Amino acid sequence: MLFLYTVLVVCCAILLTAGIVEQRRHFINLERIPARVLVNGIRGKSSITRLCAGALRGGDLVTVAKTTGTAARFIHPDATEEPVYRKFGLANVVEQIGIVRRAASYDPQALVIECMAVMPALQEINQSKLIRSTIGVLCNVREDHLAEMGPTLDDVARSLCRSMPEGGICVTAEVERFAILQEEADARDCELIYADPETVSDAELRGFSWFTFKENVAIALKVAELLGVERETALKGMYDAPPDPGVLSVERYVTPDGKKLRFANVFAANDPESTLMNVNQLLDLGAVHRPLNVVINCRPDRVERNGQMGEIIPDLQPDKVFVIGHPAKSAIDAIPAEWRGRAVDLGGDRRDPEEFMRELLGGLGPDSSLIAIGNIHGQGELLLEHLSELPPDETPDERPDETPGAQPGEHSEEHSEETPDEQRHPQAPQHIRHDETLPLQQYRPHLDPYAPYPEAYETRYQPHPTVQAPVVQAPDPVQAPDPVQAPDPVQAPDPVQAQAPVQAQAPVQVPVPLQERARTRGMFEPALHPDRQAQDRQASDRQAQEHQPPERQQQQSEHQPERQQPVQQPYQPVQPEHQQPVQPYQHEQQPPQQRGPHQDPHPPQDPNQQSRQNSAGDPR
């Protein structure tokens, strides 16, 4: 036994020494990287990581980056990238140690890394032990991962603040919960800087060959400014940065029936607010147009999220809503009743992909747009796989002049007008980028992402006070009610009850007279037996009356009032012996009028037998 304890102590000492050595080497690798940027938030972390890395590369800073979004990527200083290898395909925060070791081999000036932790405790460990960032980025606070960081958005904001560097700088574009972020930053002696999206112009946003948001660009510009990179240089580096695989994109296809289709992959924005912002930007830039169709992919482990996607259908105003995945009913039931008729159920966990793709493409118009929302996993991945096999639509985006002979409904009203550039060049032979097809100034916003959620969403997720239940007034009984239970109509209401009107009141019960109260004896409740002395007195009185002459009995009946039958009282629990002695009832004993001729009127004299009878109760 001593040998086993010795082996155990030696193994623990070896593991402890190895852990101390690994931690020391990891801290040395971190010290070799002067600027470390940790990007955290709910939406857009991967895009912001790439934008920050591109902006710093534009300023001739040796920068290494790593993303953990749709596909984990390690980005080298020359902007080339490769997938991050993971054992068994499982993500773990411990992989950040290897990323830092590999990044330190380049002797970089900056490291931009995306936070991959979800649990609040792991976020704090990722910051304090693994990255030790000098600049933190907290892009936004949205409704996601509520089970780990919630249940409220304020709790999510405080959980994300655990990645703030103590004594460092944190950049954010969050507006609604900026006060909470400021409070948490002050507690960590961290300087909180707000990146204003309005500082990014529309012309600067058009320079990107892929879709992004002003909030993301503003954060990247602020980080570049903190590290000494000029604005124009940072923008040029961001324009050249490769987009994330899960970035918002629009593809143009030709279906087997010869229909033109514009498909927008909005799966990455799997919360209502981000989805509305993405669709709003696509409509503003003209990347998609109406008639607009929506496909919702459902997951069995995201039933609540499926319902949220169904509730924002009135804001999207689609012609048709295709629901795929399982359970499709969770999204269809959440669609408001006036829009539910446009839903097409193509869901099912075992549905043939060829079948639902054929029905989906067959329900589209000759020239329409399709937006995919929800979650990408499951049938969403099959949808993207089948669409990628369709031939691309390489025809230029032509908008004919609005003439009186044009057929009504051929094009939507928003796209009937042309800009002066399009009038001078009606058919441009060169390739037209999606952000240059139609100028941004021509289109009015179709959706307001900052508007309140629909009424169904507010009703479902907002707390409600208890509603006062209606009081049911029963008709007055014929017999006078019990004075103890009858309410006094003149009595003033209780001030305590008047101050709490939100509590539901129980309906008023009409008091039942004592004689009409029928009570059923419980299964294990002993029957009550009348007093023994009272029984003996009643028996002696009956015998005395039988031996008296009839005249005597008549005189006694005239002078004595008629004896009322005793009222059977409801069952009362047996009181302790020191308060009220009660004669116990033996189950073999019967009332005098029910005894047989051969039964003993007296209780058994054996105390053991009497105790056994008391504990047995009434077998009936």
Highest mean pLDDT among 157-161, 406-410, 499-503, 506-510: 157-161
DSSP bridge partners of 248: none
> Are 289 and 399 in contact, with CB atoms under 8 Å apart?
no
Domain annotation for the chain: domains and CATH numbers: 19-240 (3.40.1190.10), 249-395+431-452 (3.90.190.20)
Q: In terms of DSSP bridges, do strands 135-138 and 35-40 run parallel, antiparallel, or are they unpaired?
A: parallel
Report yes or no: 265 and 374 within 8 Å, Cβ to Cβ.
Answer: no
Summarize the confidence of residues 470-486 as an average pLDDT: 49
> Would you state the pLDDT for residue 550?
59
Question: Does the structure show a pLDDT above 90 at 611?
Answer: no
Q: What is the pLDDT of residues 9-22, one digit of tens each?
A: 999 999 999 999 99
- Which pLDDT band, with edges at 50, 70 and 90, does 382 fall under? confident
Residue 472 has pLDDT above 60, yes or no: no
- Lowest-pLDDT choice from 53-67, 198-212, 248-262, 526-540: 526-540
DSSP labels, 445-483: -S--TTSPPPHHHHHHHS--PPPPPPPPPPPPPSSPPPT
The Cα–Cα gap between 609 and 620 comes to 19
Question: What pTM was computed for the model?
Answer: 0.59
Helix (H) or strand (E) holding 370: strand 367-374
pLDDT at 393: 84
Cα 223–Cα 224–Cα 229 angle in degrees, nearest 5: 155
Q: Which residue has the higher pLDDT, 423 or 590?
A: 590
What is the per-residue pLDDT for 521? 47
Distance of CA 414 to the CA centre of its chain: 36
User: What average pLDDT does this structure show over 491-517?
Assistant: 44
**Dihedrals φ, ψ of 21, to 5°?**
-65, -40
Buried b (16+ CB within 10 A) or exposed e, 298-320: bbeebeebbbbbbbbbebbebeb
pLDDT tens digit sequence for 514-523: 444 444 545 4
**In this predicted structure, what is the pLDDT of residue 451?**
44
Give the helix/strand (H/E) hosting 322.
strand 320-325
- Amino acid (1-letter code) at residue 50: R
DSSP secondary structure of 393-421 = --S--------TTSPTTSS-GGGS---HH
Tell me 392's DSSP state: B
Interval 497-522 mean pLDDT: 44
Contact 156, 141 (CB under 8 A): yes
- Stretch among 105-119, 280-294, 524-538 having the lowest mean pLDDT: 524-538
Three-state DSSP state, 297? strand
Q: Is 551 helix (H, G, I), strand (E, B) or coil?
A: helix
pLDDT digits (tens, 9 = 90+) for 188-213: 999 999 999 999 998 898 888 888 88
**pLDDT (average), residues 268-289:** 84
Name every residue whose Cβ is closer than 8 Å to that of residue 173 and which is 6 or more positions away in sequence: 139, 140, 194, 195, 196, 197, 215, 216, 218, 219
- Asked whether residue 509 carries a pLDDT value surpassing 50, the answer given is no
11-20, 88-97, 472-481: which is most confident: 11-20
Mean pLDDT of the 393-402 span: 59
Choice between 316 and 493, residue whose per-residue pLDDT is larger: 316
Tell the burial category of 5 from Cβ atoms under 10 Å away from its Cβ (0-12, 13-18, 19+): exposed
Burial category of 135 from C-beta neighbours within 10 Å (exposed 0-12, middle 13-18, buried 19 and up): buried
Contact 30, 100 (CB under 8 A): yes
Mean of the per-residue pLDDT values for the chain?
A: 74
Closest by Cα among 347, 361, 359, 266 to 299: 347
